[in-house]
Structure 1
Amino acid sequence: MITQTRTLEGRKTWLLVLAGCLWGTGGLTGSLLARHTGLDSPAIAAYRLAVGGLVLVLFVRNRPRGRAAWTRIVVLGLLAAEFQACYFAAVSKVSVSLATLITIGASPVLVLAAESLTGRRKIDRSALGTAGLAVVGLTLLIGVPSNGQDLTTLLSGAGFALLAAGGFAAMTVIGSRPVPGLDEMASTGFAFTLGAVVLVPFAAANGGLGFTPDQVALGLLLLLGVGPTAIAYAAYFRGLRTARAGTAALMALLEPLVGTALSVLILGDRLGPAGIAGAALLLTALVLEGRRS
């Protein structure tokens, strides 16, 4: 019985790893889509949630029923809209790397704080050490690039990134509490579809939703909606059934790690000694957290 439980928990952890790896393609894909179509961040976020949500809804077998289920869907939908819009707004203000550093770096800290305040987890030195090691590794991996922005632009970008971190942390904490009769595919699909509807007015007021639907644009949009959105988030919320919220948030740090690897392999970027050391520290922290959980 104990062996079966550990095997199940291991499978859930691998779902979190899968989600983090798929998210690693999201920032780059969204940035390429914005560059190719000229769409602003609210429109990118709306299209991403719409495609990802509708893809999941098509495969839903059991429709949500009851007030608790629809309340969860509405809450997740609003948080998803806030998270996506703020993240891409941060990317438009600063850069993909800096926005990711602040968003993904702050998320596990916020989740650990929420778990501690609610009494769901006793935050010991080991948990703090692992989180600190991960954040240091993330900082070394990405660095703090300076693109010549003025202080106001940097502060606004950092503010949007912190808001995105808060939204993701809230989604993680709430998603770790299952609702009877509501599976992850249904909750994620309907929530993301709702989130896309919420973002439509903001997107229409900030550059609009129109773009030329050529093959490149549609391909990037489909890639963004299916991989790092539909599959990744469904796997993430399924993994939250048994994994701790803090562990799940730390596994999300695979996103910048995979994103950096793709930049090196595909775009020809170079990773310096600090970046290599950061990647090693980040991997060490994730392995330690995975074994400890």
Structure 2
Amino acid sequence: MSIATPTRARSSAALVLAGVLWGTGGLAGSLLGDLAGLHPLAVAAYRLLVGGAAATLFVLLKGVTLPRTAEAAKRIIAVGGLFALFQASYFAAVALSSVSVATMTTIGAAPVVVTLAGRRKPHRWTLVSLAGTLAGLVLLRWSPGEATSLAGLGFALLAAAGFATLTLLTAKPVEGLEPLSTTAFGCLAGGLLLTPVASWSGMALPLHADVLLVTCYLGAVPTALAYAAYLRGLTNAHPLLGALAAVLEPLTAAMLSAVLFGERLSVTAWCGAAVLVAALVVGYWRPEPR
């Protein structure tokens, strides 16, 4: 059994935190859409814009200067484009198939893309963790008879490719650009890129206390804080572990739905949750060398 160093342990904890916080984002996003009558693309645009604004304000209050090097600017533009691509593709997949199929395909395919993009042959324990992740997702999210389409699966795979590319890209640090700054300016750039597309469906936001509160939460916690933790964790963890940590999003969402809304999970779903946790434990204790 390999023993994680304190630095690797902190990185893994940051990735786990990001996955859990993302799980609350799905519920918050759905609630915002219901309260404000917004299209999912508009919810995604507000998520990135508010999250980017909150993180940017925090960065500026800390006295961090704006990126001034060409390499840092290119990284922020690339991250913003990947944020927009991931969000737009995912919600297109949801519209063309279903939430379950889009989520399972996107999050399940992302670690596969990261593995295939690696230069080395993956370790056998990595393959075990990857197989367990895919099996757990199928058990947790799959609903027999649910509508699917080739177009929906295609957009889900595009979203997975975007998330995997973001994971691989941000695993390589840029001098003078910290994870929080990358999150702040990347989210803002992604939100601005997504706004013209989302505006077609309408982005009027009712100025009610509950709507504004949910909007602020969606932007600050499962977006700004979660992505900052994710990018921080990637600095000392293998990108594949980062992609695998994303499976905590549907797992957390399923658990919260059961606790908060009384939704009953089937025996199959509980088995899937157990398999997902076991797969993550294998990935943590037998990490792929960087």
TM-score by length of 1: 0.91
- Report SS of the residue matched to 2:265: coil
CA distance in 1, matches of 2:144, 2:205: 31
Q: CA-to-partner distance for each residue in 1:85-107, whole Å, 9 max, x for gaps?
A: 12222233333222211111111
Cα gap change, 1:58 to 1:145, in 2 (>3 Å): farther
Q: Which amino acid aligns with 1:240?
A: L
Counting only pairs closer than 5 Å after superposition, residues 271-286 of structure 1 correspond to structure 2 as 271-286=265-280
The answer to whether the aligner puts 1:291 opposite 2:290 as a matched pair is no
Q: Choose the corresponding residue for 2:232, options 228, 234, 238.
A: 238
Secondary structure at 1:90's aligned position in 2? helix
| Equivalent AA in structure 1 for residue 108 of structure 2 | G
Say whether the 8 Å CA contact 2:125–2:283 is kept in structure 1. no
CA apart distance, 1:125: 2.4
User: Which residue of structure 2 lines up, in the alignment, with residue 52 of structure 1?
Assistant: 51
Tell me the residue number matched to 2:173.
178
Q: Does the aligned pair in 2 maintain the 1:81–1:195 contact within 8 Å?
A: yes
Structure 1: 5+ residue stretches without partners: none
1:98, 1:145 within 8 Å by CA — same for their partners in 2? no
Q: 1:145 to 1:64 in 2, by over 3 A?
A: farther
Distance 1:27 1:267 in 2: 14
Cross-structure match for 1:62: 65
Distance 1:215 1:93 in 2: 32
- Which amino acid letter does the alignment assign opposite residue 101 of structure 1? M
CA drift of 1:21 comes to 0.3
SS in 2 for 1:79: helix
Runs of 4+ in 1 over 4 A off after TM superposition: none
Distance (whole Å) between structure 1 residues aligned to residue 211 and residue 151 of structure 2: 29
Alignment partner of 1:221 is 2:210? no
Q: Distance in 2 between matches of 1:146 and 1:230?
A: 36
8 Å contact kept, 1:45–1:84: yes
The answer for the alignment partner of 1:17 in structure 2 is: 16
Residue 106 of structure 2 contacts residue 160 of structure 2 at CA under 8 Å; is this kept in 1? yes
- CA–CA distance in structure 1, aligned partners of residues 185 and 145 of structure 2: 39
In the comparison of the two structures, how many residue pairs are matched?
Answer: 281
Q: Report if aligned partners of 1:41, 1:85 keep a CA contact under 8 Å in 2.
A: no
Q: Which amino acid in the other structure matches residue 80 of structure 2?
A: G
Residue 87 of structure 2 corresponds to 84
1:211 Cα deviation after fit: 2.9
The one-letter amino acid of 2:21's match is: L
Distance 2:241 2:10 in 1: 14
RMSD (Å), alpha carbons: 1.6
Q: Which amino acid in 2 is paired with 1:114?
A: A
- The within-5 A match list for 1:80-229 is 80-115=83-118, 119=119, 121-147=120-146, 149=147, 154-205=149-200, 207-229=201-223
**Match of residue 29 from structure 1:** 28
* Matched-pair identity in %: 46
**Structure 1 segment 38-49 matched on structure 2, within 5 A:** 38-49=37-48
- Provide the C-alpha distance between the structure 1 equivalents of 2:228 and 2:220, rounded to a whole number of angstroms: 11
Structure 2, unpaired ranges of 5+: none
TM-score by length of 2: 0.92
Q: Judging changes above 3 Å, is the alpha-carbon distance between structure 1 residues 44 and 162 closer, same or farther for their aligned structure 2 residues?
A: same
Cross-structure match for 2:260 = 266
Aligned equivalents of 2:211, 2:30: Cα separation in 1 = 12
Q: Residues of 2 paired with 1:199 and 1:178: CA distance?
A: 25
* Deviations 1:177-224 (CA, angstroms, capped at 9, x unpaired): 00011101111111110111111111122x121132212221221111
1:146 and 1:218, CA in 2 relative to 1: closer, same or farther beyond 3 A? farther
The 1-side partners of 2:85 and 2:5 are apart by: 35
Task: Give, in whole Å, the separation in 1 of the partners of 2:194 and 2:275.
Answer: 37
Instruction: Output one character per residue of 1:86-138: Cα deviation in whole Å (capped at 9) or x when no partner.
Output: 222223333322221111111111111111xxx2x431322112101111011
Cα distance change, pair 156–185 in 1 and its aligned pair in 2 (3 A):
same
Contact kept, 8 Å, 2:50 with 2:219, in 1: the verdict is yes
CA distance in 2, matches of 1:24, 1:194: 23
